[in-house]
Amino acid sequence: MIVANETTSTISSSLTFSADELPKAEYFMDYVLGILMVFLTIIGVFANTSVVVLFTLPSRRKVHSRVTYLLRSLAVSDGTMALVGGTMYAVNCFYHKWVFGREGCVFHGVIMFWCGVTSIAHLAAIALERWYTMTHIQWSVANRDRVPKHIYAAQLACWVYGALWAVLPLTGLQRYTEEGRVSCSLDWFNPSPGYKAFNLTMLVTVFFIPGLIMLTTNIIIFKVVHRSLLENRRSRLLKTEKKLARSLMYIVVFYLLAWVPYGLASVWATVDAQSIPTTFLMLTGFFAKLSFTLNPLLYVGMNQTYRAELIQMSTQCCCINFQFLQKFLPNKETLSQNDDKTDASEELLDKDNEVTSQVRRLPNSESFSTKCSTL
């Protein structure tokens, strides 16, 4: 723990401990977090690499869409976080201190800050794309077979936005230093007004505004679907409304779980650096790193069509055919119904083809089935 009477100018430099100085509880916690991070890193690297391959191979073109371009770019960012951040974090946990030196600290800080901001920006972009698709049906139908330029622009903007924030600390506006015992990040403890202004500005623009975008757009999407369901009270469609509500809840809750604790810890350290425990910093940093595993599982793993394609691709690449995997694969009838579904919400908003074909004959219809078919 950080002693309350230490000055903030010496806090960041006092965060390097030897193993002998650690209480037994924290010594044990390092091993637990290290082991957990090893598993999360393996899962994160494999899952994100699989997503990139799935959305790149021409043979899997039937699952490609506007959103999958954003998901693939998100997977590149999350995979980099898993490979760099997860590996370095786990190694440091087993040594109970930062072992990669000053240059390694800066490298870790830049990569994690860059990819972290980029991933959050991608989540906001995906939410906006879903919202636009649901509220601009005619445009979505007209452009469902091509990738508009704004998708490429959104990917580039996310990466540039993340790079901008990652480079700014190198110019003297902030700096990268040790965060707890096993990680490196911004210097949250510096009492300089300039550092505090940078921290608060970054937290608002990088964490809270994207989170607000995700929450607002998901609420709008749910209201649009709910209003459409009122026009067609079929029992099957009522079930899809519940599935949609659960899916949107997962998106918001997982974002809050991964990033809000870290954001609150950052605000705490900025406002009152002397009172924040090192252990709390470590735990919030750990939860933030959960995002590189949660994102592919949430946005791809929960989609029946994507999941089926991913399992088939994996079994073909590894030359395996485990029977137990068959229970995760939809039957042929389900796959034929899902061939045109290219977004996670499409799978959750499963519709019957008869209603869809009838609705599509109505040019200005805003029925539930038409909205789902264009996501």
pLDDT class of 59 with cuts at 50, 70, 90: low
pLDDT score at 248:
65
State how far the Cα of 188 lies from the Cα of 178, in Å rounded to an integer: 10
Average pLDDT over residues 42-49: 91
* 277 compared with 69, residue with greater pLDDT: 69
DSSP one-letter code for 187: -
Q: What does DSSP assign to residue 177?
A: E
pLDDT score of 300: 73
Comparison of pLDDT for 148 and 174, the residue scoring more: 174
Q: What was the pLDDT predicted at 125?
A: 92
Average pLDDT, the chain: 75
What pLDDT shows up at residue 332? 46
- Give the dihedral of Cα atoms 322, 328, 334, 336; nearest 10 deg: -50
Most confident of 17-21, 49-53, 357-361: 49-53
pLDDT tens by residue, 62-80: 666 778 888 899 999 999 9
Q: Which residue has the higher pLDDT, 373 or 327?
A: 327
Q: For 3-10, what is the mean pLDDT?
A: 37
Question: 155: which 2 tokens?
Answer: 């990917």
Q: How far apart are CA 60 and CA 313, in angstroms?
A: 9
Where is average pLDDT lowest: 143-147, 203-207, 287-291?
A: 143-147
pTM of the model: 0.76
pLDDT tens digits, 88-102: 999 999 998 899 999
State the average pLDDT over residues 132-136: 78
Quick one: tokens of 4?
């309350």
Q: Does the pLDDT value for residue 6 go beyond 60?
A: no
Question: Which 8-state DSSP code applies to residue 83?
Answer: I
Could you give the C-alpha distances from 38 to 79, 83, 101, in angstroms and in order? 14, 10, 21
pLDDT value of position 163: 96
Return the pLDDT at 146.
67
Question: Over pLDDT 90: what percentage of the chain?
Answer: 28
pLDDT at 266: 85
Binned at pLDDT 50, 70 and 90, residue 250 comes out as: confident
pLDDT of residue 290: 85
Rounded to the nearest angstrom, the gap between the alpha carbon of residue 191 and the centroid of all alpha carbons in its chain is 31
